[in-house]
């Protein structure tokens, strides 16, 4: 093809432009315009700030991992929920759907040299191929916090406190959110004490996990038909009003030990002043099979949204995935439900920041000193804008207002000759002559 034909073939025309206007983001994916990006950044900032205050270090990993890493953790059925494919090197790979497998791989690679406990956080973008609906998209960002190498329940309390403090940092209180706390170790012990064979525990977990959604009668019917068990002793602990009420069903040592762990967690959160956020709820099962101890989920108090966050202890997972026999616990908090909750409560971060300075040149002769001042102010950390094309002072002031400028500095012939600028406070309208050398120093 000749160069002329190549140019003609790639020259935009009306039909191409019309086609481009029809392109949209894929279902379940998002565009982030400046306002949305400002909200996202504010949430990320709160995540990072609170994690830093708790002594967590930030890590990340690749968004593309071997498919087997996810299958090893969640089983072959997970493949249907992944963006999985064969790459050009004939490797079976997948976009990450969660961060825990990557964390396990990373810890396993350096387990011997890491100071324990390991306290890491990350903010990955995650991908799942599933039906998009309110609170669940095909991509989202998530705060992941994990502690590795600590068995004591103080670590569980620390992790839940961190999650609660993130929500507090975003303006949410105990009237807005509740942490529903349970324990897989407690649940397992209670179920065994109620006569559930250990090989049927996963099935029973799956059934009782639907208690809130399906109701007692439906769950009892499934226990009879699917698990072939008497639902009475199994469901009795779920009807206890609180942690003390569950104690009457804790007939074995394992159940008693798990109850004591949950009680200590509540005591620790009470001592931090966060007890008002907590509620014991044995029905919080956390469907993933690898949880071994305390588990919890954070919900809005009105019960209108999906879980904001959830996590718990998974003491065996790192050994199974990465050969690192270390206790571990973690949680994930997604940005989609969190943003919806902040919007519903009128707590979205303020995004109309505007610029700190807008510089106005009265004539073309003042453009050079304007550029020098703009660069000096920017070097000092200030945000600065000005018009690129010549225009009247009135037009430039109008542009300053449109950009939300807090102050306008006018450079006219008299000001520049005197080494000064006229500064107007856009909120009050007050003006003052200020030596140019005092700005950006």
Question: In this predicted model, what pLDDT tens digit does every residue of 90-138 receive, in sequence order?
Answer: 999 999 999 999 999 999 999 999 999 999 999 999 999 988 888 789 9
Contact 66, 92 (CB under 8 A): yes
Instruction: Name the band, by pLDDT with cuts 50, 70 and 90, for residue 206.
Output: confident
CB burial of 285-303 (b: ≥16 within 10 Å; e: otherwise) equals: bbebbbbbbbbbbbbbeee
Query: In the chain, which segments carry CATH 3.30.930.10?
Result: 34-344
Helix, strand, coil percentages, rounded to 5, for the chain: 45, 20, 35
pLDDT of residue 353: 72
* Average pLDDT, integer, range 3-23: 52
- Give Cβ neighbours of residue 151 (< 8 Å, ≥ 6 apart): 315, 327
State the fold for domain 357-438: Rossmann fold (3.40.50)
- Residue pair 219/210 in contact by the 8 Å Cβ criterion: yes
The tens digit of pLDDT for each residue in 304-338 reads: 999 999 999 999 999 988 888 999 999 999 999 99
**Alpha helices in 180-215, H assignment, sequence order:** 184-193, 201-208, 211-214
Question: Residues 153-183: pLDDT tens digits?
Answer: 999 999 999 999 999 999 999 999 999 999 9
Q: Mean per-residue pLDDT for 276-294? A: 87
SS3 46: helix
Q: Residue 54 in 3-state DSSP? A: coil
CATH H superfamily, domain 34-344: Bira Bifunctional Protein; Domain 2 (3.30.930.10)
Give the model's pLDDT for residue 13.
52
Averaged pLDDT, 370-389: 96
Rounded to whole angstroms, the Cα distance separating 400 from 358 reads 6
Strand partners, 325: none
- CATH 3.40.50.800 residue ranges of the chain are 357-438
The whole-number pLDDT of residue 350 equals 81
CA dihedral of residues 237, 243, 249, 250 (deg, nearest 10): 130
pLDDT-derived band at 289 (thresholds 50, 70, 90) equals confident
- Give me the chain's average pLDDT, please: 91
Q: Place 10 in a pLDDT band, splitting at 50, 70 and 90.
A: very low
Cis peptide before 117 (omega within 30 of 0): yes
Which pLDDT score, from 0 to 100, does residue 241 have? Answer: 84
Query: Has residue 7 got a pLDDT over 60?
Result: no
% pLDDT > 70, the chain? 95
* Letter string b/e over residues 168-190, b meaning 16 or more CB atoms within 10 A of that residue's CB: bebebebebbbbbbbbbbbbbbb
pLDDT in the model for residue 3: 43
- Residue-wise pLDDT for 72-91, tens only, equals 888 888 899 999 999 999 99
Q: In which band, very low, low, confident or very high, does the pLDDT at 267 lie, cut at 50, 70 and 90?
A: very high
Largest CA distance in the chain: 93
Phi and psi at 266, nearest 5°, equal -65, -40
pLDDT in tens, 392-406: 999 999 999 999 999
Does residue 224 have a pLDDT over 70? Answer: yes
Residue 231 structure tokens: 């639902």
Report the relative pairing of strands 177-183 and 294-300 from DSSP bridges. Answer: antiparallel
């Amino acid at each position: 093809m000749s160069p002329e034909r190549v140019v003609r073939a790639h020259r935009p025309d009306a039909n191409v432009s019309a086609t481009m206007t029809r392109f949209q983001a894929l279902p379940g994916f998002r565009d982030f315009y400046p306002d949305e990006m400002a909200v996202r950044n504010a949430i990320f900032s709160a995540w990072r700030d609170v994690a830093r205050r708790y002594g967590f270090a930030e890590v990340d990993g690749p968004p593309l991992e071997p498919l087997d890493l996810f299958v090893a953790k969640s089983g072959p059925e997970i493949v249907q929920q992944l963006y999985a494919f064969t790459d050009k090197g004939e490797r079976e790979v997948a976009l990450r759907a969660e961060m825990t497998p990557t964390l396990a791989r990373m810890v396993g690679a350096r387990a011997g040299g890491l100071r324990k406990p390991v306290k890491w956080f990350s903010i990955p973008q995650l991908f799942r191929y599933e039906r998009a609906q309110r609170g669940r998209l095909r991509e989202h960002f998530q705060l992941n916090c994990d502690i590795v190498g600590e068995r004591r329940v103080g670590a569980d309390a620390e992790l839940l406190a961190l999650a609660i403090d993130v929500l507090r940092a975003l303006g949410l209180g105990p009237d807005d959110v509740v942490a529903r706390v349970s324990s897989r170790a407690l649940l397992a012990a209670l179920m065994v004490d109620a006569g559930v064979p250990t090989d049927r525990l996963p099935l029973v977990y799956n059934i009782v996990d639907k208690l809130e959604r399906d109701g007692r009668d439906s769950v009892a019917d499934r226990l009879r038909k699917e698990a072939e068990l008497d639902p009475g002793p199994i469901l009795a602990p779920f009807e206890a009003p609180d942690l003390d009420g569950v104690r009457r069903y804790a007939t074995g040592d394992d159940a008693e030990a798990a109850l004591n762990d949950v009680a200590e967690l509540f005591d620790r959160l009470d001592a931090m002043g966060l007890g008002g956020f907590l509620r014991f709820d044995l029905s919080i099962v956390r469907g993933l099979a690898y949880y071994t101890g305390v588990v919890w989920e954070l919900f809005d108090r009105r019960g209108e949204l999906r879980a904001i966050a959830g996590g718990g202890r998974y003491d065996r997972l790192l050994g199974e995935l990465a050969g690192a026999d270390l206790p571990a616990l973690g949680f994930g908090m997604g940005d989609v439900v969190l943003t919806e909750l902040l919007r519903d409560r009128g707590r979205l971060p303020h995004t109309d920041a505007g610029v700190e300075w807008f510089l106005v040149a009265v004539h073309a002769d003042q453009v050079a000193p304007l550029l020098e001042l703009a660069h000096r102010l920017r070097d000092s950390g200030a945000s600065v804008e000005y018009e690129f094309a010549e225009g009247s002072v009135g037009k430039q002031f109008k542009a300053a207002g449109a950009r939300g400028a807090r102050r306008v500095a006018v450079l006219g012939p008299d000001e520049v000759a005197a080494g000064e600028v006229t500064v107007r406070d856009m909120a009050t309208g007050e003006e003052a002559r200020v030596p140019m050398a005092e700005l950006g120093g």
